[in-house]
Amino acid sequence: AKTWRVAVLPGDGIGPEVVAQATRALDALCDKQSGLAIECTTFDWPSHAWHEQHGESAPADYLDQLADFDAILLGALGDPGPASNPERYLLSDAVSLAPLLQIRKHFDQWCCERPCRPLPGAPQYLADARAKDIDMLVIRENSEGEYVNQGGRLAPGTVNEVATQVALFTHRATDRIIRHAFKQARVRADERKAEGRERQFGPDKKASQVCVVTKRNAQQFWGDMYTEMFAEIAKDFPDVATHHELVDAACMKFVSHPWAFDVVVASNLHGDILTDLAAVLNGGMGVSPSCNVNPTDRSRPPMFEPTHGSAPDIAGQNLAGPAAMLLTTAMMLDWMGVEDDVAATAAARLRDAVSADLLEHGSERRNTDAIGDAIIGAL
């Protein structure tokens, strides 16, 4: 079997605390019996601490240093410091978040997947009993859109200031993300069929659905391009039902009847916003995993990071829930599992252990390492 090389980036805030549980879990999963082989190398950058020491958030050649790894496992980034120090607050985003976006871009991780399927025992924020049936996958375009950071400020700081922020959408990036969404819809339908929990969508009772999100009533150019390309690509997937939502209505429906969605595909910014909402439906940031991958090119490292941030308010107190990080690690194992059967088995074992712990303890208040002990003990 292959030895997988993983670059571990603990980052800021609660990042190192939850990452410590993830590396412990990987150690436990890599026992002789399982045959799984993963070699972790930990880097202290990018992080605020590294910046304070070196004046940069990461070494100049950090992207080269990461290039040869099979995968990147990241805790969280951003360290606003004390609220009483607004200068540090402003600095923190520029400091450690830039590498996050650069890693996504440099390694062409054009697809961000954030599954939303509450595990039994996870906190349930919606009162409706159907909330336990929520099972959707939000696929976020991760390479362009509102995140290209083109534009600028004219006459900054004056009353005449004008800021522009270009949102850029290409045929190439739109085609690959929408096509990927349809493929994932098929995969999900097959999984549901195998597990005897089929669903039906639309008047033709199709086994899966893709919903595309735009704001075409106000942002016509990219909205029309997305909608037209979506309709065209859908012809290649006649077995998958289609649906369109405007982003504001999508937010409303994520709260009023989220159980009606299957796969949702959205632009970079819309996907960012919708996945914070979806994380709450999933039981909160504490249980919501995420990945940044290139589904058509496995030659460069993907990055696995929970949806949550560095949670500076609880950092360093052994209070952060490690479940999101562990479920994110399971997504990494899934990704490895495409080539390596023992990794697929390990992903299922880890997910089962997290899920059993949630079921037993629900949202009981426990320390990070105590949760880690219980889950890793079960492995």
Q: Nearer to ligand IPM by C-beta: 100 or 103?
A: 100
Cis peptide, bond prior to residue 46, ω within 30 of zero: yes
Q: Nearer to ligand IPM by C-beta: 97 or 225?
A: 97
Q: Nearer to ligand IPM by C-beta: 6 or 291?
A: 291
Using CB under 6 A as the binding rule, whether residue 113 contacts ligand IPM is answered as no
| Least Å from the CB of residue 143 to ligand IPM | 11
* Residue 266 binding target from Mn ion, ligand IPM, none, CB below 5 to 8 Å by type: none
**Binding string, 271-290, against ligand IPM, x = CB under 6 A?**
-x------------------
Q: Nearer to ligand IPM by C-beta: 43 or 147?
A: 147
3-class state of residue 148 by DSSP = strand
Q: Nearer to ligand IPM by C-beta: 124 or 290?
A: 290
Q: Nearer to Mn ion by C-beta: 146 or 272?
A: 272
Interface region with Mn ion, contact rule CB under 5 A, candidates 28-36, 213-221, 269-277, 285-293: 269-277
- The site for ligand IPM, by CB under 6 A, has a size of 4
Q: Nearer to ligand IPM by C-beta: 112 or 353?
A: 112
Closest CA to 209 of 178, 182, 236: 182
| Least Å from the CB of residue 330 to ligand IPM | 18
| Least Å from the CB of residue 166 to ligand IPM | 17
- Buried b / exposed e across 80-109, counting CB within 10 Å, b at 16+? beeeeeeebeebbeebbbebbeebbbbbbb
Residue 313's Cβ-count burial label (10 Å; 0-12, 13-18, 19+) is exposed
Interface region with ligand IPM, contact rule CB under 6 A, candidates 95-103, 162-170, 220-228, 321-329: 95-103
Interface region with Mn ion, contact rule CB under 5 A, candidates 33-41, 119-127, 270-278, 291-299: 270-278
Q: Are the beta carbons of 38 and 4 closer than 8 angstroms?
A: yes
Closest CA to 268 of 309, 312, 222: 222
The half-sphere exposure of 264 on its side-chain side, counting CA atoms within 13 A, is 32
CB atoms within 10 A of CB 163: 10
Q: Nearer to ligand IPM by C-beta: 1 or 101?
A: 101
Q: Are the beta carbons of 321 and 287 closer than 8 angstroms?
A: yes
Interface region with Mn ion, contact rule CB under 5 A, candidates 3-11, 52-60, 113-121, 266-274: 266-274
* Residue whose token pair is 């200031």: 161
Q: Are the beta carbons of 209 and 239 closer than 8 angstroms?
A: no
In terms of DSSP H, where are the helices of 257-367? Answer: 268-281, 323-337, 341-361
Distance from C-alpha of 213 to C-alpha of 227, rounded to nearest angstrom = 9
Task: Out of 49, 97, 148, 225, point to the residue binding ligand IPM (CB under 6 A).
Answer: 97
Task: Out of 79, 113, 245, 272, point to the residue binding Mn ion (CB under 5 A).
Answer: 272
| Strand duo 145-154 + 162-168: pairing | antiparallel
Query: 257 Cβ partners below 8 Å, 6+ apart?
Result: 130
| Least Å from the CB of residue 189 to ligand IPM | 27
* Residue 97 binding target from ligand IPM, Mn ion, none, CB below 5 to 8 Å by type: ligand IPM
Q: Provide the binding-site residues for Mn ion, judged by CB under 5 A.
A: 272
Give me the residues that bind ligand IPM (CB under 6 A), please.
97, 100-101, 272
